[in-house]
Amino acid sequence: MILEKVKNTIEKHSMLKKGDKVIIALSGGPDSVCLMDVLSRLKDEYGIRLYAAHLNHQIRGIEAQKDAMFCMKRCEEEGIMCFIKAYDVPAYSREKGLSIEEGARELRYGMFFELQKKLSADKIAVAHNLDDQAETLIMRMMRGTGLEGLKGMEYSRRDGIIRPLLDVTRAEIEAYISQRGLSFRLDSTNLEDIYTRNKIRLRLIPYMDDNFNVDMKKALSRMGSLLSDDAEYINSCAKTEFDRVCSMEGEVRIDTDALTALHNAISSRVVRMAIGAILGDIKGVQQVHIEYVIELARGGKEGSRIDISRGLMAIKENGRIVIKKNQAPDSNAEKMSFHYDLESEGSVRIEEIGVRVQTKIIDKGDSLHIERDRHTAYFDFDKVKGKLSITSRMEGDRIRPIGLGGTKKLKDLFIDLKIEREKRDYIPVLRDENGVMWVMGYRLSEAYRVDAHTKRLLKVTFTEL
């Protein structure tokens, strides 16, 4: 049954073609063992050549060594060339200020893409399944993601990543490996109810399945597929408008009248495309940056400018918004600037200012004692929208300080607090996609205040390195 499902997925999403070299991401767990067995049985039918890659994360000591040995032996039995690399993920994560999960993923995919280049491989097959898709979608919904995030994981990506098992449930995988008599390794950390994904997997989805007459995994996957079609169509419309209202000459010039006449869903995408055209991607660019640019187009005075992110600026001149790299005068060349994405549960190390920031989600109980100081703050997690980040201050930043009753520019706040000008860029700012949550060590935003209706708290702590 799985074979037919996988074949349908491969055909529907044009994952493979004859002669493809395919690298299998092999962890040794049941999902990846199932993936390798299925592709081994299908390789002659599709005319593909298989390789396998395993990263020893060095997280679980001797158990990690056994995982690597298992993968090597399994590949020998299948006649598949196996590549194994060991990396101290905990050390790497500490050095980069990442959570263990983020560090492991970064190194794992780095290995895959490095191997892809060396082998001139066409595809990298990863073992994400239907349950993984459901968990990912729930996590993104909890963060308040937009349409792009609700698409879920893609079946095929432009960089060669494919997910042949994405229509297969974890229960079907377990039944398959049992029927085939396949051995596998188990990572005990997947059973620990301490990570957000594990909580969703072990507690939330089973509760939903038990208490509602619906298959949540399939429903979420179906939603993701439908929204993916919608997003693809809207993005194609936005690309048409981008080509119409923008011009490229080392910088992007957007006609302000044409931009502001567009629907918000299109205009915001046009601005994102403009930024992506200069930077190559839009990592670190938040919705608030997009809104600043659109506000500048709608009501900004000629000559007005804003800083966006990653050294970009937008300036209004001659009826156009010009987005380009900030050619700051030499006196500002050494201005402190940093940007780090932050998971809702994890930590990040900010080398520029010598600070580590840690986050944790806590269920609010009657007996919960909240200790506040300048290094620790609590927020209503359900009021947080989108992805968290820690940055230096940005042009146009505002905050609604608790108890003030209105908003205040960060520049004015620093003046009121008598913070020296040269120190202001070293103060970390916690923000979500809606704006500033905490000028860390100084002021909290009213918009995220913990109240009687709060169910989950986001605890954020920063310490000096």
Largest distance between two CA atoms of the chain: 72
29 annotated as belonging to a binding site for a ligand: yes
The reply, when asked if residue 396 is annotated as ligand binding, is no
To the question of whether residue 30 is assigned a binding role by annotation, the answer is: yes
What is the side-by-side strand order in the sheet with 123-125? Answer: 81-86, 49-56, 21-25, 123-125, 161-162
Query: In DSSP terms, which residues pair with 56 in a beta bridge?
Result: 86
Provide φ and ψ at 5, rounded to 5°: -60, -45
Q: Is 28 annotated as a binding residue?
A: yes
CB–CB of 193/186 below 8 Å?
A: no
93 assigned binding-site residue: no
Distance CA 213, CA 379 (A): 34
Q: Which residues contact 270 (CB under 8 A, 6 or more apart)?
A: 238, 241, 242, 245, 246, 254, 259, 262
Q: Nearest 10 degrees: CA dihedral of 352, 355, 359, 365?
A: -150
DSSP sequence for 130-148: HHHHHHHHHHHHHTT--HH
317 close to 302: Cβ distance less than 8 angstroms: yes
Asked if 22 and 81 touch (Cβ cutoff 8 Å), the reply is no
Give me the sign of the Cα torsion angle 246, 247, 252, 254.
negative
Which own/partner contact pairs does 195-204 have at CB distance under 8 Å and 24+ positions apart?
A: 195/101, 195/345, 196/139, 196/142, 196/344, 196/345, 196/361, 197/135, 197/139, 200/135, 200/138, 200/139, 201/131, 201/135, 204/138
d(CA 269, CA 277): 12
Phi, psi (5° rounding) for residue 26?
Answer: -110, 110
Q: Can you tell me the distance from the alpha carbon of 454 to that of 386, in angstroms, rounded to the nearest whole number?
A: 18
Please give the Cα distance from 429 to 445 (Å, whole number): 11
| 27 annotated to bind ligand | yes
Binding residues: 27-32
Binding residues for ATP: 27-32
